[in-house]
Structure 1
Amino acid sequence: MSKAAPKTYLASGHSGCAGCCDAFAAKFTLMGAGPNCIVVNPTGCLEVMTTPFPNSAWQVPWIHSLFENAGAVASGVEAALIALGKKNDTKVISIGGDGSTMDIGIRSLSGAFERGHDFTYVCMDNEAYMNTGIQRSSGTPFDASTTTSPPGKFSFGNPRPKKDMVAIMAAHGSPYVATTSIGYPRDMIRKVKKATEIVGPTYIHAHAPCTTGWGFDTSKTLEVAKLAVETCLWPMYEMENGEITQVRKVKDPKPVEDYLRVQKRFKHLFTMEGGEEEIKKIQAMADWNIKHYGLQ
């Protein structure tokens, strides 16, 4: 007899897009954390779609923070629980997008991790500022088109590689950091559960394809997420005390074209002169991941 799936603790009555990556990420996070948690959620799509006044889709205690201070608010929640003598019974989790995590909120998050606060931070990386108009973030991948890094006669889109946020958080001395993907629910649920059971500041970086911002059919969210892993553009691994301890192997990596071709944000690479050379550069990034993380 199969074991029953854990409860999601996020009600279906939200206003997210069909196939919304944030809804998947929030559900899997709560399935891993369980009901005894308090969620800190900075401004973003997840906050907007789950809490249209006077309603809320959250079935656990939830608090909204600003873009820039989720780390500070989570620290305060943890301190309050300690003062009340309730910290052992309650997990503190912050869930934010790549903009609020890697850009606007990195200062308060860095401070919270440096101070050693006991909470788990989950970054839902949809690789742009989706809530405010699909602008480039430091999580936007190389050559992707956004509204602030559009392709044109003299541009192939975003000229910079993604910021390695996982390495940054590991450098803070975090006892546990990991990458995961909404395309692999069991992996994400397991890693969130593990992170919340470890004492100290822990970090989960979850790949979260956005149907609206990336330009793919709403039924293909999980399929696109899996392609990122299968092409080795999104390595999945765990780090404990600064050392990589587990890696998800990719037996027969697919060419990056399989991933790029299904997204509108990379369409220009298949139509512009010079696009083939840009695709080769992206393939080289995937090949580097294979070697660096030992994906084969």
Structure 2
Amino acid sequence: MKSLLAPGHRGCAGCCDAMAAKFTLMGAGEDCIVINPTGCLEVMTTPFPETAWDVPWVHSLFENAAAVGAGVEAALKALGKKGNTKVVVMGGDGATLDIGMRSISGAFERGHDFTYVCIDNEAYMNTGVQRSGATPYNASTTTSPSGKVSFGNPRPKKNMPAIMVAHGSPYVATTSLAYPKDMIKKVQKATEIEGPSYIHCHAPCTTGWGFDTSKTVEVARMAVQTGLWPLYEVENGDITKVRKLGKSIKPVEDYLKMQRRFSHLFKMEGGEEEIAKIQAIADKNIEVYGL
């Protein structure tokens, strides 16, 4: 299968965005148009006058990627050129859960035929590891630092897939870059379904999370194995497929220990209680999704 994201881009070693973008393109195929808002993926793949994209690519603003995607889809239809061409938006968690929420909501409400892929590295990595709506509970970021009066981010991670299900999307799925075949298959399915589809990819960031560049896939896999990141599909409002864990479920402590952003929980007084709260989040996922 041809790689539509060329090597030689400026991504970090072990870059999660590069992996997620590569798998997305493998699922969408060559006949696609990509809309990409401001963020790490945009910056490291398109330093003027270079580009790593081997498909038509449009850079949007942070806040309007879904609106641009909707416009591209509408223009193709108006020109009679839509055919099998896939319109794919790839945005980070900041451009999706926070700044771009309004345009995503509008595009999905209007029913545009395109696929939105959120590459979720759980903070604003491109601008200095600031907290986003996707930052998990107790993670330390530059705007939610751990310290004498704080264990880090005090708010739970926003459930964006559930929000998109509530918008009436015919297909919503979660993925992880640790399971490329699963992601490729889900993206392919999403792009072939008529209407606005949504894919949410968990993407560990070596720089912002604080782990060795060789461990990206290992960290991503552990998030799934603990139950903190369940893999599932929702079709027309109903959960249709879930990746079961069975007896292979790992304690969240194993996942947290792999990352500098949670290291304070193993040093601060009261850290054990906070780890237990994170374990409770995983336990609830295991129960709700039948993992």
- 1:84 offset after TM fit, Å? 1.5
In 1, Cα distance between equivalents of 2:243 and 2:84: 32
* CA offset digits 1:175-215 (Å, max 9, x no partner): 00000000000000000000000000000000000000000
Q: What residue number does 2:266 align with?
A: 270
Q: Quick one: which of 278, 286, 291 aligns to 1:290? A: 286
Q: Give the AA of the match of 2:49.
A: P
Q: What residue number does 2:72 align with?
A: 77
Q: What residue number does 1:30 align with?
A: 25
In 1, Cα distance between equivalents of 2:8 and 2:75: 30
Structure 2 SS opposite 1:87: coil
Residue pairs, 1:97-112, within 5 angstroms: 97-112=92-107
Q: Does 1:208 align with 2:208?
A: no
Q: What residue number does 1:132 align with?
A: 127
* CA offset digits 1:14-60 (Å, max 9, x no partner): 00000000000000000000000000000000000000000000000
- 1:8 offset after TM fit, Å? 1.9
- 1:88 offset after TM fit, Å? 1.6
TM-score normalized by the length of structure 1: 0.97
Q: Does 1:20 align with 2:15?
A: yes
In 2, Cα distance between equivalents of 1:128 and 1:122: 16
Q: Which structure 1 residue ranges, 5 or more long, are not aligned?
A: 1-5
Q: What residue number does 2:114 align with?
A: 119
Structure 1 SS opposite 2:59: strand
Q: Give the AA of the match of 2:279.
A: Q
Q: Does 1:90 align with 2:92?
A: no
RMSD: 0.5
Q: Give the AA of the match of 2:273.
A: E
In 2, Cα distance between equivalents of 1:199 and 1:275: 47
Residue pairs, 1:1-296, within 5 angstroms: 6-251=1-246, 252-295=248-291
Structure 1 SS opposite 2:83: helix
In 2, Cα distance between equivalents of 1:138 and 1:253: 26
How many aligned residue pairs are there?
290
In 2, Cα distance between equivalents of 1:218 and 1:139: 22
In 1, Cα distance between equivalents of 2:250 and 2:162: 25
In 2, Cα distance between equivalents of 1:174 and 1:233: 23
* CA offset digits 1:44-93 (Å, max 9, x no partner): 00000000000000000000000000011001100110012111231000
Q: Which structure 2 residue ranges, 5 or more long, are not aligned?
A: none
* CA offset digits 1:99-153 (Å, max 9, x no partner): 0000000100100000000000000000000000000000000000000000011
In 2, Cα distance between equivalents of 1:113 and 1:87: 18
Q: Give the AA of the match of 2:88.
A: I
In 1, Cα distance between equivalents of 2:3 and 2:73: 23
In 2, Cα distance between equivalents of 1:87 and 1:203: 19
Structure 2 SS opposite 1:60: coil
Moved over 6 A (4+): none
Q: Give the AA of the match of 2:274.
A: E
Q: What residue number does 1:3 align with?
A: none
Q: Give the AA of the match of 1:37.
A: C
Q: Percent identity?
A: 77
Structure 2 SS opposite 1:17: coil
